[in-house]
């Protein structure tokens, strides 16, 4: 679907009708009118447009309250596609999904060691072209969402700082929109992950939820009433660079004692290497060593769980979200980390209610940021 189409399709009341169908469907026109306070003719007019556009479809007849059985409406989730891109520290993943988050195609590309902005953008474009080549009706693609590690200027879709790649000021949105003539939305990967969990995690209605991504780096995203919080300069959620020890190790950002230097995968490996004659290259290696019987390294995960718990307690005190979802590669060691995280929060949170803050591990796993990238487009369609 070409750029600018959303703006022609949308109006405030039309979006109200569409969202009502998304949240409460299957639902009748009469029920939409009653609950939205719109007139029946207005609802019927918007529904007619949505049916013609293919976003909504008619379902079976509903129950009658004495008159003719009403025709029920629901979102036509499988009629359109979205391309989601997740650019991490070592590779880029590209998916094709429908509006329900069902993934149909997936492509992964490792980054070369020597990276330039031009090479990076070429890898993204190639992945998207390869995905598009697999679609029989590319005109049904509604847009492209990109989850990008580091600092992102959301309004312009520019990657300001991509620390793992050593790149700055990458014009992702501008480049991809020019090549593909589709709407492109770019977001920090941890914030995109939060949006993905909000849309697809099936946690029920949450007025506030926070996602913490713990992998090679540490970031978070906050969703309030369905919308991402960005902060004044688009750096909200950079909790990995929250300093908790001013005398600690130097972080990649240049500061000392950032939370990231204590709980990331590489920090787990560093602490394990101090305790063992074996050399571990990553947190995954340490986890596998414990799984294979090296119980002496369990204390590394015990300490990591405490440190994650301290970081989460700080978030509870500052933001006080209703739900916190933990994700990223480090949380693959859930059984060794989560009990200690819960225990630490219970010990240090200020109030009895805060101690009971729900903290869970992501249900979406490694696809959270990818599905979050697709949700960037869904937000534009439905909100």
Q: What pLDDT does 2 receive?
A: 61
**Residue 83 φ/ψ region, left for φ over 0, alpha for ψ in the -120 to 50 degree band, beta for the rest:** beta
CATH architecture for the domain at 203-362: 2-Layer Sandwich (3.30)
**pTM given for the model:** 0.86
Estimate the crossing angle of helix 368-382 against helix 189-200, to 10 degrees.
Answer: 70
148 and 159 in contact (C-beta within 8 Å)?
A: yes
CA distance 85 to 95: 7
Query: Which pLDDT score is estimated for 158?
Result: 96
Q: What is the pLDDT of residue 234?
A: 80
Distance, first Cα to last Cα, the chain: 18
Question: Which CATH code fits 5-75?
Answer: 1.10.10.10
- What pLDDT does residue 352 have? 95
Q: Can you name the CATH fold of 81-195+369-382?
A: Nucleotidyltransferase; domain 5 (3.30.420)
- The pLDDT value given to residue 70: 82
The pLDDT, as a whole number, for residue 319 is 93
Determine the pLDDT at residue 67.
59
Q: Can you tell me whether residue 277 is helix, strand or coil? A: coil
Identify whether the C-beta of residue 160 lies closer than 8 Å to the C-beta of residue 130.
Answer: no
Q: Please count the CA atoms within 13 angstroms of the CA of 176 that sit on its side-chain side.
A: 29
Tokens of 63: 């129950």
CB-count exposure of residue 53 (10 Å: 0-12, 13-18, 19+) = middle
Q: Half-sphere exposure of 302 toward its Cβ, with a 13 Å CA cutoff?
A: 5
pLDDT of residue 311: 94
25/59 Cα distance (integer angstroms) = 10
Per-residue pLDDT at 4: 58
129 Cβ contact partners less than 8 Å away, ≥ 6 residues apart? none
- For residues 45 and 108, give the distance between their C-alpha atoms in angstroms, rounded to a whole number: 43
Write out residues in the chain with pLDDT < 50, as ranges: none
pLDDT on residue 84: 97
| pLDDT computed for residue 136 by the predictor | 87
Q: Provide the pLDDT for residue 256.
A: 93
- 81-195+369-382 and 203-362: same fold? yes
Q: Where are the beta strands (DSSP E) in the chain?
A: 27-28, 56-61, 71-75, 81-87, 91-98, 103-110, 141-148, 151-153, 158-162, 167-170, 184-188, 208-214, 218-224, 227-228, 323-327, 358-361
- Domain parsing of the chain, residue ranges: 5-75, 81-195+369-382, 203-362
DSSP string, 101-135: --EEEEEEEEPPSS--HHHHHHHHHHHHHHHHTT-
All residues at 6 or more sequence positions from 24 whose CB lies less than 8 Å from its CB, including other chains: 31, 35
């Amino acid at each position: 679907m070409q750029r600018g189409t959303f703006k022609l399709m949308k109006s405030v009341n039309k979006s109200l009708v569409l969202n009502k169908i998304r949240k409460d469907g299957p639902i009748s026109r009469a029920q939409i009118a009653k609950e939205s306070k719109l007139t029946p003719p207005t609802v019927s007019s918007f529904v007619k447009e949505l049916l013609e556009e293919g976003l909504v479809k008619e379902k079976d007849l509903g129950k009658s309250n004495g008159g003719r059985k009403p025709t029920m409406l629901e979102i036509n989730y499988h009629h359109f596609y979205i391309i989601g891109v997740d650019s991490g520290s070592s590779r880029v993943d590209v998916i094709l999904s429908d509006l329900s988050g069902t993934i149909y195609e997936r492509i992964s590309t490792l980054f070369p060691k020597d990276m330039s902005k031009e090479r990076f953008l070429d890898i993204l474009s190639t992945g998207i072209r390869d995905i598009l080549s697999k679609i029989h009706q590319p005109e049904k693609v509604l847009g492209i969402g990109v989850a990008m590690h580091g600092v992102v200027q959301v309004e312009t879709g520019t990657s300001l700082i991509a620390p793992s790649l050593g790149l700055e000021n990458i014009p992702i949105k501008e480049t991809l929109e020019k090549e593909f003539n589709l709407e492109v939305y770019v977001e920090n990967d941890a914030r995109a992950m939060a949006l993905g969990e909000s849309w697809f995690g099936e946690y029920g209605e949450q007025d506030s939820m926070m996602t913490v991504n713990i992998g090679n780096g540490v970031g978070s995203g906050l969703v309030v009433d369905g919308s991402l919080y960005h902060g004044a300069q688009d750096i909200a959620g950079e909790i990995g660079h929250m300093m908790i020890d001013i005398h600690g190790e130097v972080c990649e950002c240049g500061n000392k004692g950032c939370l990231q230097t204590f709980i990331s995968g590489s920090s787990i490996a560093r602490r394990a290497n101090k305790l063992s004659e074996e050399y571990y290259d990553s947190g995954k290696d340490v986890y596998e060593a414990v799984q294979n019987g090296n119980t002496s390294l369990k204390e590394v995960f015990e300490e990591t769980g405490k440190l994650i718990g301290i970081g989460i307690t700080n978030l509870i005190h500052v933001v006080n979200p209703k739900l916190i979802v933990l994700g990223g590669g480090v949380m693959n060691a859930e059984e060794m980390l989560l009990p200690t995280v819960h225990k630490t929060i219970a010990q240090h949170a200020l109030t009895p209610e805060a101690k009971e803050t729900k903290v869970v591990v992501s249900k979406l796993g490694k696809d959270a940021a990818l599905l979050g990238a697709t949700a960037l487009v869904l937000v534009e369609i439905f909100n």
